[in-house]
Amino acid sequence: MSSSKLDAKVPGGPIADKWDRHKFEMKLVNPANKRKYTVIVVGTGLAGGSAAASLGELGYNVLNFCIQDSPRRAHSIAAQGGINAAKNYQNDGDSVYRLFYDTVKGGDYRSREANVYRLAQLSVNIIDQCVAQGVPFAREYGGLLDNRSFGGAQVSRTFYARGQTGQQLLLGAYQSLMRQVHQGAVRMFARREMLDLVIVDGKARGIIVRNLITGAIERYAADAVILATGGYGTVYYLSTNAVNSNVTAAWRAHKRGALFANPCYTQIHPTCIPVSGDHQSKLTLMSESLRNDGRVWVPKKQGDKRPPEQIPEEDRDYYLERKYPSFGNLVPRDVASRNAKQACDDGRGVGDSGLAVYLDFKDAIARVGPETIKAKYGNLFQMYAKITDDDPYAVPMRIYPAIHYTMGGLWVDYNLMSNVPGLHVLGEANFSDHGANRLGASALMQGLCDGYFVIPYTIGHYLASTALPKVTTDHDAFGEAADNVQQRINQLLAVKGSRGIREIHRELGRIMWDDVGMARSAQSLTRALARIPALRDEFWHDVSVPGSPDNLNQSLEYAGRVADYLEFAELLALDALQRSESCGGHFREESQTPDGEALRDDDNFSYVAAWEFQGVGRAPALHKEALVFDEVHPTQRSYK
């Protein structure tokens, strides 16, 4: 059923006019009044950093928080391949409408049309802004911007800065942010971890953070709170995320009433370096852009253990080119990942573990020469060589899918506000734009779109249309939240058990990967739903968290995040269980087409599943936002 809690507030009118019309209809805060408002921004990645900088430029009083030692370290920095924009600089048929269409289709018809259209519209402004900041995008010889192709699209619309696009875009936002810090508009709080959201009279009015250096529990009050705290990929332990990425801020907001939407939509990236052993702390992505020139294959015969160079052409199966002739190696990520898994399940995987496929550059090197390949992908090849001790110019890369991005997140309306008034959520932390599968080069686009071009308008509207009596950190709600935080810290330190935090996290990851991973079934999910609470109990009875709460204590930080994951994982599995259809990155074995593609069930599942917290270990309440497709008619996705 649809819920009164879920008014998406999508403006009326034709889709192409909605945002312009909404911009006109929204209330404004006059320039002199902006400095009277304080806005908290948690996170300094592409979404948080760009939001904090933009709100500072507008004149708001901004408090910006991050867990790292500097805002420049946020994990957006690791994005490699590029950022999409509907510039049509290549004259190859791109348009705002086509980017919108590709994104809705790529998301397997599980995203909100109006949000996606706005994203496509604003994509062109992002490139302009970043160029003006001095981001060194790749250029053609005539001095104009270069583009490359990415999965899920038949046009070249991806802008890039070598294999470090995320880094360069993030540094652009970071520099704008530091300029605002210098001018006093933004106050920066590094090495602070948000551990609770403070709600006063039903509105988000502040946060509680732990100062990671001194251990002090600090209180900050504001007129609105923006979370841009990234995704929850590390619930799988091994992922391409940074080791400090976590769900804690979003989860604590969820426990205060913010609805969590579509947690089962997780993206498994097809081109990562395979796992090498138990000691491994993270997986490394090889950019999807490699699929422009690399050809994916496995041996035709099961158990063919010959080295790749000894396997002749006729014994190789270029399965993506064979099965999807029009998109070939550039099918979307979910399709590429599932096919790699199928090849390995079929006994045709390569490498020692049998859990890898080849990504081969031999033909591209023969065609354009090693120098051209080096210029395009040099840093990626180097990274691969360092990790595996193999030379990808000489032998094919071995790749395997890994958890990379999470499409689910806190539920937000068209204004990027959660169901808790005043709590706004941007970037990967929200659920809004990518449906059940994100296309490559669209995460950077969404993060910057939300921060530079959406929130500066919508937050003004919220502030101008809401009564916000002054609240200070002496308010009881702050005291209650700070006590709550302190209590949980004390609990963690008091267990004094014998099990390592990492060991338990690794075990959680194994449950998630085996039972809630690339292919899920009612049976595997039910199993996970029994194993997760058992592991959570074990954690709270037998974890060892050494050290003191009064100084830098990385064990304590880590334990707090794993404790939250042990609660959140259950919600993820539950969401996956209730959605008995397959869509995008969520593949239910019970729901597939005869040739093994994800089979949606639009009659029963064309909705956003937004969950309301009811207590740890208690079944959450499900709210549904019906998805309406006026523009792009849902069909069985085909990339053949």
Using the rule CB under 8 A, give the single segment among 182-190, 247-255, 401-409, 528-536 that binds another protein.
182-190
Using the rule CB under 8 A, give the single segment among 90-98, 161-169, 475-483, 526-534 that binds another protein.
161-169
**333 included as an active-site residue:** yes
Comparing CB distances to another protein, the nearer of 148 and 475 is: 148
171 binds another protein (CB under 8 A): yes
Closest CA to 190 of 45, 54, 64: 64
Which of 12, 31, 277, 303 contacts another protein by CB under 8 A?
277
Comparing CB distances to another protein, the nearer of 310 and 498 is: 498
DSSP-derived 3-state class of residue 615: coil
The interface with another protein within residues 535-574 (CB under 8 A) comprises 544-547, 551-555
Query: Looking at 98, 157, 205, 333, which residue is catalytic?
Result: 333
Which of 16, 27, 70, 367 contacts another protein by CB under 8 A?
70
Q: On the CB side of 311, how many CA atoms lie within 13 Å of its CA?
A: 22
Comparing CB distances to another protein, the nearer of 213 and 619 is: 213
90 binds another protein (CB under 8 A): no
181 binds another protein (CB under 8 A): yes
Q: Is the CB of residue 392 less than 8 Å from the CB of residue 379?
A: no
Using the rule CB under 8 A, give the single segment among 22-30, 46-54, 106-114, 307-315 that binds another protein.
46-54
The interface with another protein within residues 508-537 (CB under 8 A) comprises none
Comparing CB distances to another protein, the nearer of 244 and 592 is: 244
The interface with another protein within residues 373-402 (CB under 8 A) comprises 382-383, 386-387, 389
Closest CA to 528 of 598, 599, 576, 469: 576
Which of 5, 362, 499, 624 contacts another protein by CB under 8 A?
499
Residues 337 and 196: their CA atoms lie apart, in Å, by 36
176 binds another protein (CB under 8 A): yes
DSSP-derived 3-state class of residue 486: helix
26 binds another protein (CB under 8 A): no
372 binds another protein (CB under 8 A): no
Residue with tokens 């809004």: 432
Which of 14, 369, 378, 500 contacts another protein by CB under 8 A?
500
Name the DSSP letter for residue 290: G
Comparing CB distances to another protein, the nearer of 133 and 484 is: 133
Q: Least separation, in Å, of the C-beta of 244 and another protein?
A: 5
430 binds another protein (CB under 8 A): no
61 binds another protein (CB under 8 A): no
Distances (CA, A) of 221 to 248, 303, 311, 476, 543: 19, 61, 64, 12, 34
By CB under 8 A, the count of residues binding another protein is: 88
Q: Least separation, in Å, of the C-beta of 640 and another protein?
A: 34
- Strands of 255-410 (E only): list them: 260-261, 266-272, 295-299, 316-317, 357-360, 397-406, 409-410
Q: Least separation, in Å, of the C-beta of 382 and another protein?
A: 8
43 binds another protein (CB under 8 A): no
Q: Is the CB of residue 161 less than 8 Å from the CB of residue 95?
A: no
Burial of 184 (0-12, 13-18, 19+ CB in 10 A): exposed
Which of 224-258 are b and which e, b meaning 16 or more Cβ less than 10 Å from the residue's Cβ?
bbbbbbbbbbbbbbbbbbbebbbbbbbbbbbbbbb
Which of 132, 366, 467, 494 contacts another protein by CB under 8 A?
132
Tokens coding 472: 């200070």
Q: Least separation, in Å, of the C-beta of 385 and another protein?
A: 10
Tokens coding 86: 């509907």
418 binds another protein (CB under 8 A): no
- Strands of 420-540 (E only): list them: 423-425
Phi and psi angles of residue 292, each rounded to the nearest 5 degrees, phi first:
-65, -40
Using the rule CB under 8 A, give the single segment among 18-26, 149-157, 178-186, 217-225 that binds another protein.
178-186
Using the rule CB under 8 A, give the single segment among 111-119, 338-346, 451-459, 477-485 that binds another protein.
451-459
Q: Least separation, in Å, of the C-beta of 391 and another protein?
A: 15
281 binds another protein (CB under 8 A): yes
496 binds another protein (CB under 8 A): yes
Q: Is 350 left (phi over 0), alpha (psi -120 to 50) or beta?
A: beta
Closest CA to 467 of 162, 27, 18: 27
Q: Mark 137-156 with x for binding to another protein (rule: CB under 8 A) and - for no binding.
A: xxxxxxxxx-----------
Tokens coding 399: 């790749």
Q: Least separation, in Å, of the C-beta of 169 and another protein?
A: 11
- For residue 624, the cross-strand partners are 2, 609
- For residue 234, the cross-strand partners are none
494 binds another protein (CB under 8 A): no
Sign of CA dihedral 169, 170, 175, 177: positive
Report, as residue numbers or ranges, the catalytic residues: 333
